[in-house]
């Protein structure tokens, strides 16, 4: 029996994607081999990766002057790739909306020291809101402005993008990837680890404006961390994480079948509303995020009583609701309700919460 899996990532995937993968495991469409066993230089695999790229381009309406790269190392490795590839003046502006934005900023300091500037932060209130980014003190010679667009741990999301004052915007969308339509042209770089909303851990997808992909990288940049190496070789400079990309491709097809990113947004808004509406009227549970900054993907909530929180997580688990424990820095609970979480999962969770509230009033 499948559980309702509210994990923040790796996270729930569409059941039909998993079924297809299982069916194709020993023989991918008459090739006589698993996708795991295929040469990455074979025609069969080339079709898989090319089609995956085409599908994500369709879904996100990615303009021709942006490259789509399938990379490795997770967002944490990409934190280094951003300064290595983009820093010309060794100056960049970071907006600190949580742990991951902070880690990205710290990584940039390895290369730029004080040149990596935190221009705004919501650390004062445990990152429970998105700061006003309409008029930030962005250094004029900043190479880019960096944000983490959806903050997995804290459950916040930018509803409007920062005013970058003409600078390149770099955005980590790991936990909101493909959850709603995006205007790619507003970004220089959009990237994310796939393990939350797109596929199995081990792939980073980076969508990068072509003019930002150059040989002019910081000295000491490894060949593989230079975006140009990957762009010039269509992500096949060396063996990519073939199977992981194949699963991502299946998820792209599933999203297309569901109606694309507009439909996905409606689906996610509907799910999130069920949960937030309940939280807003509950006398026991309460959301931790400023309402206007709430994420559609990650919903942290607390009872205000650590023992009661622990009791809830334990009883929820016993009832088939997995991974509801909140991140240690926020405490309480967190329900991650990514694309593949069915509405039924959220409905049943709220039903369970109501019952728990009645029993523990």
- Site of interaction with a copy of itself (CB under 8 A): 1-3, 5, 7-13, 15, 18-19, 21-23, 25-27, 31-34, 36-40, 42, 72-77, 79-81, 84, 107, 110-111, 193, 195, 199-203, 218-225, 237-244, 247, 320, 322-323
DSSP string of 188-243, one letter each residue: SEEEEESTTTTSSSS-EEEEEEGGG--S---TT--GGGSHHHHHHTTT-SS---HH
Residue nearer to a copy of itself on the CB measure, 223 or 360: 223
Residue nearer to a copy of itself on the CB measure, 133 or 204: 204
The bridge status of strand 169-172 relative to strand 189-193 is parallel
For residue 131, give the nearest of 106, 111, 108, 151 by alpha carbon. 151
CB of 162 to a copy of itself, least distance (A): 25
CB of 159 to a copy of itself, least distance (A): 27
CA dihedral 118, 123, 127, 132 (to 10 degrees): -50
- Preceding peptide of 257 cis, ω within 30°: no
Q: Which of 91, 196, 253, 271 is an active site residue?
A: 196
CB of 134 to a copy of itself, least distance (A): 32
What is the CA 255 to chain-centroid distance, rounded?
A: 16
In angstroms, the Cα distances linking 24 to 14, 317, 346 are: 16, 32, 31
CB of 94 to a copy of itself, least distance (A): 16
Say which residue the tokens 């600190």 belong to: 96
Residue nearer to a copy of itself on the CB measure, 63 or 222: 222
CB of 29 to a copy of itself, least distance (A): 12
254 is catalytic: no
Q: Which of 172, 253, 309, 325 is an active site residue?
A: 172
Residue nearer to a copy of itself on the CB measure, 15 or 359: 15
Residue nearer to a copy of itself on the CB measure, 44 or 274: 44
d(CA 68, CA 87): 20
100 is catalytic: yes
227 is catalytic: no
Query: Which active-site residues does the annotation give?
Result: 100, 172, 196
């Amino acid at each position: 029996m499948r559980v309702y899996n509210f994990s923040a990532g790796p996270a729930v995937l569409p059941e039909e994607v998993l079924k297809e993968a299982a069916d194709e495991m020993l023989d991918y469409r008459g090739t006589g081999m698993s996708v795991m066993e295929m040469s990455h230089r074979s025609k069969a695999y080339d079709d898989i990766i090319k089609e995956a790229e085409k599908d994500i381009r369709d879904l996100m309406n990615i303009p021709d002057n942006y490259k789509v790269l399938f990379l490795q190392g997770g967002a944490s490795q990409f934190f280094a790739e951003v300064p290595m590839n983009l820093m010309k003046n060794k100056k960049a502006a970071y907006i600190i909306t949580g742990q991951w934005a902070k880690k990205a900023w710290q990584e940039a300091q390895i290369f730029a020291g004080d040149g990596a500037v935190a221009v705004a932060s919501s650390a004062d209130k445990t990152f429970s809101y998105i700061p006003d980014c309409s008029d930030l003190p962005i250094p004029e010679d900043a190479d880019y402005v960096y944000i983490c667009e959806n903050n997995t741990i804290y459950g916040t999301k930018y509803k409007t993008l920062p005013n970058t004052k003409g600078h390149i915007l770099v955005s980590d969308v790991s936990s909101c990837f493909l959850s709603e339509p995006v205007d790619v042209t507003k970004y220089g770089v959009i990237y994310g680890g796939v393990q939350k909303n797109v596929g199995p851990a081990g792939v980073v997808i980076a969508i990068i404006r072509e003019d930002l992909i150059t040989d002019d990288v910081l000295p000491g940049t490894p060949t593989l961390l230079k975006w140009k190496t990957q762009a010039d070789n269509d992500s096949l400079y060396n063996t990519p994480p073939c199977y992981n990309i194949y699963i991502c491709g299946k998820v792209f097809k599933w999203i297309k079948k569901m109606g694309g990113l507009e439909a996905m947004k409606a689906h996610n808004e509907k799910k999130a509303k069920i949960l937030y509406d309940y939280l807003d009227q509950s006398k026991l549970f309460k959301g931790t995020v400023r309402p206007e900054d709430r994420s559609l993907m990650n919903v942290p909530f607390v009872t205000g009583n650590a023992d009661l929180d622990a009791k809830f997580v334990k009883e929820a688990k016993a009832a088939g609701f997995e991974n509801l424990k909140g991140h240690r820095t926020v405490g309480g609970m967190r329900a991650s309700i990514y694309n593949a979480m069915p509405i039924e999962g959220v409905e049943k969770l709220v039903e369970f919460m109501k019952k728990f509230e009645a029993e523990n009033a």
